[in-house]
Amino acid sequence: MPNSPSDAPRRVTVRRKGPLLVEGPVEVELEDGTVVASDRFRVALCTCRRSRRYPWCDTSHRDRT
C-alpha cells in the first residue's frame, strides 16, 4: 500500500477459525520448495489444509450442513 511506510511491521491476523490474514503482497514457500506469490492487498492463507487452492483459502473450512 502506497500509504504504508515500507519499514512498518507487517500485520498478520489470526482467528480461531478461518484463514490467516496477511497484508499483501506475499510469497509463500511450500514444503516442496516451490514459491507461490499473491499481490492482493490482503491474502487469506489456508490453515485447515482442506483448500483445493492451497496455500490460499477457498472457504473449505466452513461447516457443512
Partner 1 sequence: MEHTCEEPRLPAPRGPLSGAVEDHLRATGPLPPDEEITAAPVYGDDFQLALYLCYELHYRGFAGVVAEREWDPELLRVRAALEDRFLTALRADARRHDGVDEALAGILVEPVDGTGVSHFLRDEGELWHVREYAAQRSLYHLKEADPHAWVLPRLWGRAKAAMAAVEFDEYGGGRADRVHARLFADLMTDLGLDTTYGRYLDAACAELLVTVNLMSLFGLHRSLRGALVGHFATVEITSSPGSRRLAEAMRRTGAGPAAEHFYDEHVEADAVHEQVVRHEVIAGLLEVEPHLAADIAFGVDATVFAEDRLGERLLADWSAGRSSLRTPLSQEFAHAS
Q: Which residues bind partner 1 (CB under 8 A)?
A: 13, 18-19, 21, 38-44, 52-53, 56-59, 62-65
CB 29 within 8 A of CB 35: yes
Joined together, the cell numbers standing for residue 30 give 511450500
Q: How far is the CB of 35 from partner 1 (least distance, A)?
A: 17
**What is the rounded distance in angstroms from the CA atom of residue 36 to the CA atom of residue 38?**
7
Joined together, the cell numbers standing for residue 57 give 483459502
Q: How far is the CB of 6 from partner 1 (least distance, A)?
A: 18
Task: Specify which residues 43 forms β-bridges with.
Answer: 22
Q: How far is the CB of 62 from partner 1 (least distance, A)?
A: 5
Question: Nearer to partner 1 by C-beta: 29 or 53?
Answer: 53
